[in-house]
Amino acid sequence: MSQYASDQATAELVFPKDPKSPEVIPEEGIEQAIELMRSGRLYRYNFNGEFNSPAEKEALANEPACQVALLEDEFSSLVGHDYAVAVNSCGSAIFLALKAAGIGHGDQVFTNAFTFTAVPSSIVHAGATPVYVECTDQYVIDVDDLQRQIAANPKAKCFVLSHMRGHIADMERIQQVCEEAGVYLIEDCAHALGCTWKKSDDEQDLQVGHFGNIACFSSQSYKMLNSGEGGMITTNDDRVATYCVLAAGSYEYLYRKHLACPKDEAIFDELKPIVPNFSLRMSNLSAAVIRPQLKTLPARIDQYNKRYDQLKKILNKCEHIFVPEYLDRASRVGDSIQFNLVGLSADQVDQFLAEVKRRGVGLQIFGRQDNSRYYKNWKFSFDAEPSLKQTDDIISLACDLRISLTFDESDIQLLGVIVTSVIDEIVAV
């Protein structure tokens, strides 16, 4: 029995908080959003002036309708990239990244077998076909299988690497494999804002997103930034940044209203006639609620990790739960926890899911027919279902549990008690 099960009956313990409760918007963001709505200037380019000099930037810094331009500037500084382009979702960011990389109809693109449906959907949106790569029991890409897939699919020259749920693979090895094979690397950092990798020749941790040519981030409500929907593209490549500014929805000379974009107008003049306008811009309203959240990111990361460590310690006491460790040089943000069920029959797993749901715990298993993170449910992305036994075996018993900052220490304790006691009760029968 779990040491956390007390003498009192646990069968009627119910988690009292909404497991899907998103993080709240800071008051500064709420006030800025209200001011914008009163002005009606929700369109990102709906302000007078251009960012052609430091003086002009300073003059426009307090202009309410400059929210997206200011967010791009602040976000690029936060993650350490030269350029940032704000769009309406991370799926749109991945789509534009693929188009900027030259991906088109008939191309193949490597990606994780374990990720969210938005990733293969973005590949299909770009006209390409996903080639899926197995995951390991640490929920990261299997680099050995990546090498096998590269050898088996020599025409595929792009890899969308998804840092699924913030689990970070061996980034230096992946970077080396891609460089040697001539594979263009795009990092899906939807779950990875604040996650780092310590390079072997450097003492400092590096924000993930710097190992590929382009990084894509999310501000969907269950990510580290909450604007309901939203995404960011970051890069150090002048031509990629120019392409993304234009493709996201800048036309004529509106690119001059961007801060974190290339200043070489010759590149814009060259690409403008040949880059489609996909109209995927972020609105000022989204940017207004995101910007104050950037300031609180370090403190929130620390709070998430404390809650994660507390819950992990409880779950690890249960012999039927396996919580994998991070890779040695990786760090992640504990806004969710993943673990595998061990030694339970299929019927017992079903009982477990039904009982924790009854007790108010918002837990899901990835490898299920009703889960959008299960590759077999992405029939739009293949003609013949791929054989991914390793991934199947892992995610068929992989549980996902969100950790919210609305949960205090007693809530985390209760979550752990409910999960472990339910397992104890099921296996004891």
Whole-number pLDDT of residue 10: 66
Average pLDDT over residues 93-100: 98
State the CB neighbour count (10 A cutoff) for residue 32: 21
C-alpha pair distances (Å), 135 with each of 113, 170, 192: 7, 12, 17
Token pair listed for 277? 């306008």
- Is 5's pLDDT higher than 50? no
- Is 6's pLDDT higher than 80? no
Nearest to 291 by CA among 72, 123, 13: 72
- Is 381's pLDDT higher than 50? yes
Of the given ranges (67-71, 199-203, 356-360), which has the lowest mean pLDDT?
199-203
What length does the chain have? 429
Question: Residue 66 in contact with residue 209, Cβ under 8 Å?
Answer: no
β 336-341/398-402 pair status: antiparallel
Residue labelled with tokens 């993930």? 208
Average pLDDT over residues 269-273: 97
- Which residues are CB-contacts of 125 (< 8 A; sequence separation ≥ 6)? 91, 95
Whole-number pLDDT of residue 12: 80
Average pLDDT over residues 352-363: 94
State the CB neighbour count (10 A cutoff) for residue 210: 18
Whole-number pLDDT of residue 34: 96
- Is 284's pLDDT higher than 70? yes
**In the structure, what pLDDT confidence band is assigned to residue 9 with cuts at 50, 70 and 90?**
low
Percentage of residues of the chain with pLDDT beyond 90: 90
State the CB neighbour count (10 A cutoff) for residue 117: 17
**In the structure, what pLDDT confidence band is assigned to residue 63 with cuts at 50, 70 and 90?**
confident
The residue among 170 and 53 whose pLDDT is bigger is 170
| Angle subtended at Cα 167 by Cα 166 and Cα 169, rounded to the nearest 5 degrees | 130
Nearest to 44 by CA among 255, 247, 217, 221: 255
Percentage of residues of the chain with pLDDT beyond 70: 97
Average pLDDT over residues 112-137: 98
What is the average pLDDT value for the chain, to the nearest integer? 94
Rounded distance, CA 211 to CA 202, Å? Answer: 14
Whole-number pLDDT of residue 7: 38
The residue among 12 and 23 whose pLDDT is bigger is 23
Helix (H) or strand (E) holding 130: strand 129-133
Rounded distance, CA 136 to CA 140, Å? Answer: 6
- Is 201's pLDDT higher than 80? no
- Is 204's pLDDT higher than 90? no
Whole-number pLDDT of residue 4: 39
Residue labelled with tokens 């994998």? 324
- Is 316's pLDDT higher than 70? yes
Residue labelled with tokens 């493709």? 247
Nearest to 412 by CA among 342, 310, 313: 310
Average pLDDT over residues 157-173: 97
Q: For 232-266, what is each residue's pLDDT tens digit?
A: 999 999 999 999 999 999 999 999 999 999 999 99
Token pair listed for 120? 């293969």
Strands (E), 237-384: 321-322, 330-331, 336-341, 363-365
State the helix-helix crossing angle for 90-100 and 238-248, rounded to 10 degrees.
Answer: 130
State the CB neighbour count (10 A cutoff) for residue 96: 28
Rounded distance, CA 238 to CA 185, Å? Answer: 16
Whole-number pLDDT of residue 259: 95
- Is 220's pLDDT higher than 60? yes
Average pLDDT over residues 96-116: 97
Rounded distance, CA 377 to CA 296, Å? Answer: 37
SS3 311: helix
Q: Which domains does the chain have, with CATH numbers?
A: 27-295 (3.40.640.10), 297-428 (3.90.1150.10)
Question: Residue 351 in contact with residue 426, Cβ under 8 Å?
Answer: yes
The residue among 429 and 33 whose pLDDT is bigger is 33
Question: Residue 324 in contact with residue 138, Cβ under 8 Å?
Answer: yes
Whole-number pLDDT of residue 118: 98
Cβ burial of 307 (10 Å; 0-12, 13-18, 19+) is buried
Token pair listed for 329? 């040089």
Show the 3-state SS of 376-417. HHCHHHCCCCCCCHHHHHHHCCEEEEECCCCCCHHHHHHHHH
C-alpha pair distances (Å), 402 with each of 42, 61, 136: 32, 36, 21
Average pLDDT over residues 332-338: 96
SS3 277: coil
Whole-number pLDDT of residue 2: 43
- Is 52's pLDDT higher than 90? no
Average pLDDT over residues 365-374: 95
Average pLDDT over residues 191-198: 97
